[in-house]
Structure 1
């Protein structure tokens, strides 16, 4: 599945719903966004509907309003973007090497731990720390 990067307002909506970890109405999202900048209720309602049609949000009726919640986690979204970026490379090993050359030690340790977990291996590899 190809994952398209979210637009600015789409990302603002999804960020709030991921952080809140509960269904929310468009009014709640609008009120929160409006703490930092002005956005129209109808604009957020339209974008939430688009995210629903794209399969990013599920919704259920609560009185006269829709309650929206994410279908996928932020981590699934990020992993999809990373997979797509790697898939665009002509030389995957070189792209992976360049990636690990620029990540922080903390990210390197997290990557090592993720690789060990995916393999079912509990022992750290040379140079990595135990998780």
Structure 2
């Protein structure tokens, strides 16, 4: 599932709001940082609904949109897709990780340690059944 720059921007806006938003509300948020026509936002949201990226509630005159996946799930899906495309050579992954700032690497180390701890508590992990 490929996500373009505008789609990612619109998803970030939707993720930042707890309730579904109208195209006008999303447009208002986009307009805080750049100039973009309302019709571009509206059309993009409708296309994203067609791609399964957002849910479109048509029960009211002004349709409301919200993201189908949580941010974390979307990132995981995109990472899995990218690794599948490149066959996950270790060098490519290490090269990417090497570009992260020290704070992000520290957060990643903590997350990996938590995964390892959970795996040990659950008695193994993949292939241990």
Which category of TM-score, normalised to the shorter sequence, fits these structures? 0.7 to 0.9
Runs of 4+ in structure 1 off by over 4 angstroms are none
The question of whether the paired residues in 2 share the 8 Å contact of 1:89 and 1:95 is answered with no
Structure with a larger share of its residues in helix: 2
Deviation of the 1:63 alpha carbon: 3.2
Structure 2: give runs of 5+ residues left out of the alignment.
123-129
Partner residue of 2:126? none
Aligned counterpart for 2:38 among listed residues 36, 41, 46: 41
Aligned-pair CA distance for 1:108: 1.0
Partner of 1:28: 25
Q: Distance in 2 between matches of 1:97 and 1:68?
A: 34
Equivalent residue, structure 2, for 1:76: 73
Q: Structure 1: give runs of 5+ residues left out of the alignment.
A: 123-131
Secondary structure at the residue paired with 1:59? strand
In the alignment, does 2:86 pair up with 1:85? no
For normalisation by structure 1, the TM-score amounts to 0.76
2:32 match: secondary structure: coil
TM (norm. structure 2) is 0.77
1:98 alignment partner in structure 2: 94
Count of residue pairs the alignment pairs up = 117
Q: CA RMSD in A?
A: 2.4
Q: Residues 46 and 56 of structure 2 are in contact (CA less than 8 Å); yes or no, is this contact kept in structure 1?
A: no
